[in-house]
Chain A
Amino acid sequence: MTTLQTVFSKARAENRAALVGYLPAGFPTKEGAVAAATAMVEAGCDVIEIGLPYSDPLMDGPTIQDAVHRSLTNGTRIADVMRTVEGVAKSGAATLVMTYWNPIDQYGAGRFARDLANAGGVGTITPDLTPEESGTWLQESKDAGIDTVFLVAPSSTEDRIGKVAKICTGFVYAASLMGVTGARESVGSAAEGLVGRTRRHTSLPVCVGLGVGTGKQAAEVAAYADGVIVGSAFIRRLLDAPDEASGLASVRELAAELAAGVRR
């Protein structure tokens, strides 16, 4: 099992940023998600975030909403998410689950943390779990030996950045802009400032996500962040592909482009 710590020290040693890719479990199919994520890893992703599909994804833009809707229509359950993690972890990437809080809460925090660790997962990203509500999850994650990643945003005050950074392990997720997930023409100008502000509160790696979709953007972000997170752009490739084989080829191509970007 590859840990986040291993990933970031390796990237640092190679004087580059890490590449983090996101895909929801069960999309385009249950097996297809493992195949796509594996292709992403083979082409250069260091970390994979497996999204846990949720019925009310209020911080996701249309692309992820579409993928998640298809996944839920495919009947994806948490057991499938765990199986996906297991499959992807075998590829050698550090594998996390990104999820809204309610599914963990209903599954049982302790059970979720243990099952994820047993599947080879190394942590979670929980975008709607605030420091005030995170007590149980921090304890259960610690007991299971998995990392807890939370988000800071351009709007975050120093006080909030401090509070969030304090409960993060593995890395801190810096949202590049105010908005929902989705590839954009340009990465928010606020991102670099936010990474700088976050570094004053933590020695953990800081990764930037939201709006990154090209090799050029990845290179821009890699100049100041420890990791570059890409989600919607991969999903877009799969949505636009006429069949599974060309979808795989397409995500592989994008991962390679991004991997070159973080090495520029």
Chain B
Amino acid sequence: MSPTEAPILTAADLAGNGVYGDDPDGHGKFGVFGGRFVPEALIPALDQVAVEYEKAKNDEEFLREFDHLLRTYAGRPTTLTEVPRFAAHAGGARIVLKREDLTHTGAHKINNVLGQALLTRRLGKTRVIAETGAGQHGVATATAAALLGLECVIYMGAVDCERQALNVARMKLLGATVVPVTNGSQTLKDAINEAFRDWVTNVDRTHYLFGTVAGPHPFPEIVRDFARIIGVEARRQMIELTGRLPDAVAAAVGGGSNAIGIFHAFIGDEEVRLHGYEAAGRGLESGEHALTLTAGTIGVLHGSRTYVLQDDEGQTIESHSISAGLDYPGVGPEHAWLKDSGRATYHGVTDDEAMEAFALLARTEGIIPAIESSHALAGALKLGRELGPEATILVNLSGRGDKDMGTAMKYFNL
């Protein structure tokens, strides 16, 4: 078998490592988090997805097909890149990037999308819908829909359509219909509401290709499993590169898919610290942030019990972040559970800190990261100074920054 033919994915990779009680209990609960809070009309569709996914993940044909697409279409495995010139600003700690920005379409979202697109075909459905914030999940979904010949409708907040105009054009070019959502805060949360409304109306022929590890069961589990490959590869590659596991893994957290994707394979390695970085926007005190895990309270949003930015009567509070992909007042229930169990810790990174890291990586290493991923980079700079020069930090560079040039031009007066 030549290296390109070697499978990069096994059933065990997909199903998780079964440690630390991390698999939902059948009702989709991670401790007290998760579950299903949706109209009864959607229960049969969610059950159907759950049942079909259980079959698929143990079906060699499905795994082979997914593996094939990951290798020959998405460009996996993605490489690790050590970034010493960047790390010089982090107290000399070793910093290694997992290069999800090098995947086809430019972000980790493609992994989940390819898995769910194949699942859509197994479900016998011909239409996919999706929500998108930064537009990366929308682009990835439109891409997979084009590849598999599925009809595709993307819901995107009108505010996000504006700040991610390039991605809107990409989705249209790929044959998707992009629907700007003009109600509420006109961002990701409202796009999700609108996608649910479409789904309940067209569920017979439509799969909701959910883009993050939030939402009702089984989405948090399925999206995690399809994103797990990030950490599975990175864990093996870190041992090859450094001879040992990293001291810490850093990732940005909005809904939480890239973070779960890289964290999950390390959950059983108790010596590896897991750090998630949420968008602190203009700072906690400003009230303009997306610090769901850091400053939110437990509630229900978009079908799942989790941490939510909400007032004392359960009304969702609008979030803010310079990065559209992190601008979400909820978070995946597994992160809520990792936080409460203490296995992972979550911190805030402000707009300014993220933009500083964004520019620093570009200047020191010639890599322009997504602003989402720049939150993890900013986190790694702080973490490096804290852990000292002996430490090795693995950072999930979840996406590339091409889509963010409009924001960067404005921010830096380029």
The one of B38, B308, B314, B316 in contact with A107, judged by C-beta atoms closer than 8 angstroms, is B314
Whether, in the assembled complex, A185 has its beta carbon less than 8 Å from a beta carbon of chain B, the answer is no
Q: 5 new A-B pairs (CB below 8 Å) besides A101-B300, A130-B40?
A: A56-B316, A128-B37, A153-B39, A178-B201, A179-B201
Whether, in the assembled complex, A145 has its beta carbon less than 8 Å from a beta carbon of chain B, the answer is no
Whether, in the assembled complex, A143 has its beta carbon less than 8 Å from a beta carbon of chain B, the answer is no
Q: Check B184–A56 contact: CB distance below 8 A.
A: yes
Binds A, one of B166-174, B192-200, B250-258: B192-200
Residues on B with beta carbons closer than 8 Å to the beta carbon of A31 = none
The one of A72, A133, A153 in contact with B41, judged by C-beta atoms closer than 8 angstroms, is A153
Whether, in the assembled complex, B315 has its beta carbon less than 8 Å from a beta carbon of chain A, the answer is yes
Residues on A with beta carbons closer than 8 Å to the beta carbon of B41 = 59, 151, 153-156, 175, 178
- Min Cβ gap A111→B in Å is 12
Q: Check A132–B302 contact: CB distance below 8 A.
A: no
**Complex-state Cα separation, A102 to B116, whole angstroms:** 29
Residue of B nearest to A177 (CB): B201
Q: Check B302–A58 contact: CB distance below 8 A.
A: yes
Q: Check A56–B302 contact: CB distance below 8 A.
A: yes
**Complex-state Cα separation, A77 to B312, whole angstroms:** 10
Contacts A106-B313, A179-B201 given: A127-B301 contact, CB under 8 Å?
Answer: no
Whether, in the assembled complex, A129 has its beta carbon less than 8 Å from a beta carbon of chain B, the answer is yes
**Complex-state Cα separation, A153 to B45, whole angstroms:** 12
Q: Check B184–A107 contact: CB distance below 8 A.
A: no
The one of B189, B201, B203, B310 in contact with A102, judged by C-beta atoms closer than 8 angstroms, is B310
Q: Check A132–B36 contact: CB distance below 8 A.
A: yes
**Complex-state Cα separation, A180 to B193, whole angstroms:** 11
The one of A102, A130, A151 in contact with B314, judged by C-beta atoms closer than 8 angstroms, is A102
Instruction: Please list the residues of chain A having a beta carbon within 8 angstroms of any beta carbon in chain B.
Output: 54-59, 61, 65, 69, 72, 77-78, 100-107, 127-130, 132-133, 150-157, 160, 164, 175, 178-180
> Can you list 25 A-B contacts (CB < 8 A)?
A56-B184, A56-B316, A58-B39, A58-B196, A58-B197, A59-B200, A69-B183, A72-B315, A78-B313, A101-B37, A101-B300, A106-B299, A106-B313, A107-B313, A127-B39, A127-B40, A132-B36, A133-B37, A151-B39, A152-B40, A155-B44, A156-B44, A160-B43, A160-B44, A175-B41
Main secondary structure, interface of B, reads mixed
Within 8 A of A (CB), among B305-341: 308, 310, 312-316
**Complex-state Cα separation, A100 to B193, whole angstroms:** 13
Instruction: Please list the residues of chain B having a beta carbon within 8 angstroms of any beta carbon in chain A.
Output: 27, 35-45, 183-184, 189, 192-193, 196-197, 200-204, 297, 299-303, 308, 310, 312-316
Q: Check A102–B300 contact: CB distance below 8 A.
A: yes
**Complex-state Cα separation, A58 to B299, whole angstroms:** 16
Residues on A with beta carbons closer than 8 Å to the beta carbon of B42 = 155
**Complex-state Cα separation, A206 to B201, whole angstroms:** 22
Main secondary structure, interface of A, reads loop
Q: Check A103–B201 contact: CB distance below 8 A.
A: no
Residues on B with beta carbons closer than 8 Å to the beta carbon of A69 = 183-184
Residue of B nearest to A77 (CB): B313
The one of B44, B204, B316 in contact with A55, judged by C-beta atoms closer than 8 angstroms, is B316
**Complex-state Cα separation, A59 to B193, whole angstroms:** 8
The one of A65, A102, A132, A180 in contact with B299, judged by C-beta atoms closer than 8 angstroms, is A102
Q: Check B39–A54 contact: CB distance below 8 A.
A: no
Contacts A101-B37, A102-B314, A132-B36 given: A180-B301 contact, CB under 8 Å?
Answer: no
Residue of A nearest to B314 (CB): A106
- Min Cβ gap B201→A in Å is 4
Residue of B nearest to A157 (CB): B44
The one of B38, B313, B316 in contact with A130, judged by C-beta atoms closer than 8 angstroms, is B38
The one of A154, A155, A179 in contact with B45, judged by C-beta atoms closer than 8 angstroms, is A155
Residues on A with beta carbons closer than 8 Å to the beta carbon of B316 = 55-56
The one of B193, B201, B204 in contact with A56, judged by C-beta atoms closer than 8 angstroms, is B193
Residues on A with beta carbons closer than 8 Å to the beta carbon of B315 = 54-55, 72, 103
Q: Check B37–A129 contact: CB distance below 8 A.
A: yes
- Min Cβ gap B298→A in Å is 9
The one of A55, A128, A157 in contact with B39, judged by C-beta atoms closer than 8 angstroms, is A128
Between B45, B183, B300, the greatest number of chain A beta carbons within 10 A of the residue's beta carbon is seen for B300
Residue of A nearest to B28 (CB): A132
Contacts A127-B39, A156-B40 given: A103-B45 contact, CB under 8 Å?
Answer: no
Q: Check B37–A178 contact: CB distance below 8 A.
A: no
Residues on A with beta carbons closer than 8 Å to the beta carbon of B40 = 127, 130, 150-153, 156, 160, 164, 175
**Complex-state Cα separation, A69 to B198, whole angstroms:** 20
The one of B43, B204, B299, B314 in contact with A156, judged by C-beta atoms closer than 8 angstroms, is B43
Residues on B with beta carbons closer than 8 Å to the beta carbon of A180 = 197, 200-201
Q: Check A59–B183 contact: CB distance below 8 A.
A: no
